[in-house]
Homo-oligomer: A and B are copies of this chain.
Amino acid sequence: MKGNSMMKLGVSIRYLGYHMAAWRHPDVPADGSLQFKYYLATARKAEKACLDMIFFADGVGIRAADTPKGALSHDSKNAELEPLTLLAAIGAATSNIGLVATASTTYNEPFHIARKYASIDHISGGRAGWNVVTSWSQEEAWNFSKDEHLGYDERYERADEFVDVVKKLWDSWEEDAFIRDKQTGQFYDEAKLHIAHHKGKHFKVRGPLNCARTPQGRPIIVQAGANEGGRIIAAKSADVVYSAPFDIASAKEYYLDLKSRLAQYGRSKDQLLIMPGLTPYVGRTRQEAQDKYDQLQELIHPISGLSILYSAIGDLSGYDIDGPVPDLPQVNNSIGRSLIEIARRDNLTIRQLYKLRASGSRQLIGTAEDIVDDMEVWFKEGAADGFNLCPATLPGGLDDFVEFVLPELRRRGLFRSEYEATTLRGNLGLEKLTFGK
C-alpha cells in the first residue's frame, strides 16, 4: 500500500500540552507558552529524536466564549506566542527539524502568507510548512472588523483560491533566476521571472513575490480539515494531512478516500502523507500509564469541565457536579442528546461525563509495546503514513514518548535513527519541487 517502510512523526507543541489541565500538572511550567526557551527546548528535543516536524495550531484570538461565566479565567489557552515569529526564531536555533505552523486563509492576505513562509523556508534552509485553515469562530471575526464569521462554503472557496495564489507567488522566480553578475550589472534573468497576474473571485494579486524560490522549491502545505472543502484542498495541494479519526475503520475510509482523489489532480499516492493525531500516555506498566492519565483528568477544574459540556448541553453549573447528569428535555441538538443518553444509560455523574469529553484527539494508554502495536497496525493496514503526536503535557509527554516508545518503534524498523535530509521535504520522502514541475 505504501512506498515508505518507515513512518513519519510530527509533534504538536502548542500551549503546554494537549490535555486541558496540562498547565496544572506539577511538572509543567505554567508560563511556558510565553517563553521562547520553552518552545525551543521542546523543538530541540524533537530534533534530537529525529522527528519530522514540530507543529503549531493557531487561532487569531481567544476562540472560546466565557461559558459558564468564569471558565475562561481557568483556561491556560489565553496567551501565547505568535506561531510564525516563533517558527522563524526556532528555525534560527535548530538545523533539521521541520517547522510547520497554521495560518488562516480567512483573515490574511495571500501575499503576506506566501512571503512569510518563503522567508522561514530560507531562514531554516528548507524546513518550513504552512498548515492551511479557515477561521470559524465568532470571536476571531470580531478581531478583524467583521460582525459574523464567513459561512462554510465561502470560507472554503476563499481558502481554495488563497492556496492557488500562494502557490503562484512561490513560483514567481525560477531557481536560477538570479545571476548577480557584478561585471555586467545584470541582477536577474528576465525570462526566469513569472508574474502571477492572478484574478479570481476573492483575490486579485499581480506579484511577483519579492523573495526568491525557496530551498524546498515551495514550503510544504499541510491541511487538517476532514470535511469536503478540506479534502479538496488536500487532494489538490497538500503534502501532509493531519487527520483526527478516533478509530481505525474511519481512519481507513478517510485514508482511502483522500489517496484515491489524488489522481484527478495528476498526483501519485505517495505525494500526500496522512498523519492522524495521537495522544500517548505511556508507562513502564499499564497501570503507570493509566495513573498518568487519571492524574491529569483529576486536574480538570470543574468550571473547565462544565465549559466542555456547555455548547452541547447548556449551563450545568447549578447542579451537583458529582450527582447524576440531569435529564434536560430542552436539549435537542444531536450531540447534546446523545451525551445525555450515554450519561443516563451508564449512570455517569456530571464530572464523569466531562472527563469523557475532555480529549480532542485519539488517546493510547499503555506500555510502549501496547502503543507501538497500535501504531504499527494503523501504519501497515493503510490507515496512516505516520502520526502527529499531541502530547498531553509538555515537555513530559514528549519525554515519555522519546524515552519509551521511540526505542520500540526503532527496534521494529518503523522509525529513523538519523535524518535522511536537511530539508523537511527531503525527510518526508517528498520530491523537491523543481520550477514548472
Residue numbers of A with Cβ under 8 A of B are 23-24, 26, 30-31, 34-36, 40, 59-62, 70, 73-76, 78-82, 84-93, 107-109, 111-112, 115-116, 118-120, 122-123, 139, 142-147, 173, 178, 180, 182, 185-190, 193, 202-208, 210-212, 299, 301, 303-304
Contact = CB atoms under 8 A, between A and B. Distances in A.
B208 A62 contact: yes
A89 B190 CA distance: 31
Nearest to A35: B122
A186 B116 CA distance: 36
A62 B210 contact: yes
B123 A86 contact: yes
B40 A143 contact: no
Given A60-B210, A61-B210, A79-B188, 10 more contacts: A70-B190, A73-B190, A79-B178, A81-B119, A85-B123, A89-B89, A90-B92, A93-B93, A107-B111, A185-B301
- In the complex, the count of this chain's copies comes to 2
A90 to B, nearest CB: 7
A187 B92 contact: no
A135 to B, nearest CB: 12
A109 B23 CA distance: 31
Contacts of A26: 182
Nearest to A91: B89
Given A75-B187, A80-B210, A23 B180 contact: yes
A80 B211 contact: yes
Nearest to A26: B182
Contacts of A85: 84-85, 87-88, 116, 119-120, 123
A173 to B, nearest CB: 7
B144 A111 contact: yes
